[in-house]
Amino acid sequence: MEQTPRFYFFYIMRKITKIIVHCADTPEGRNDTAEDIRRWHKARGFNDIGYHYVVDLDGTIEPGRDVTIAGAHATGHNADSIGICYIGGADTDMKPKDTRTEEQKTALRLLLKYLVQKYPGAKIYGHRDFANKSCPSFDAITEYKELCE
């Protein structure tokens, strides 16, 4: 009698040490979504959206890439990080600007607080801390320092 092989599937939980905040680098007030970013990223050759979460203008937190899968948001830091992107980050002339709405600020803080509790020891950074960019158009380390203490 022929034996049927048994397969066991499981997730390998990534060790998260960094939570990296990004901006979409879109003009202030333009109401893009995670689906828009997913489309942009796929057009660039990504297999999915690069971020794990997207914070919309109204404060809605949209899921992106599954957190069990490394992101595609910060070269050299994707394996051990969670990527969060807020919509905005540029003025109408496409110059860097902190365009976060009050709703985005509130939602982002709540999401970050949840993530540092879920991943003890993880630190919060801005994308600019790992790349020669202005993203996320504010100093995330300073702004969220108390969440990591």
Alpha-carbon Rg for the chain, nearest whole angstrom, is 17
Nearest residue to 12 via CA among 82, 94, 70? 70
* pLDDT tens per residue, range 64-75: 999 999 999 999
Active site residue 41: no
Q: What is the mean pLDDT of residues 6-16?
A: 63
Reply yes or no on whether 22 is catalytic.
yes
DSSP for the chain? -PPPP------------EEEEEE--EETT----HHHHHHHHHHTT-SS-S-SEEE-TTS-EEE-S-TTS--SSSTTTSTTEEEEEES-EE-TTS-B-----HHHHHHHHHHHHHHHHHSTT-EEEEGGGTSSS-TTSS-HHHHTGGGG-
Place 140 in a pLDDT band, splitting at 50, 70 and 90. Answer: very high
Query: Annotated catalytic residue: which of 52, 85, 135, 144?
Result: 135
- pTM exceeding the 0.85 threshold for the entire prediction: yes
Among the listed residues 105, 123, 133, 148, the single catalytic one is 133
State the chain's mean pLDDT as an integer.
93
Could you confirm whether 51 is annotated as catalytic?
Answer: yes
Q: Mean pLDDT throughout 88-108?
A: 97
> Which entry of 23, 53, 127, 144 is annotated as an active-site residue?
127
All domains of the chain, ordered by start, with CATH?
21-148 (3.40.80.10)
Reply yes or no on whether 77 is catalytic: no
| pLDDT score at 45 | 94
- pLDDT score at 96: 97
Question: Which amino acid type is present at position 38?
Answer: R
The residue annotated as part of the active site, out of 51, 53, 119, 125, is 51
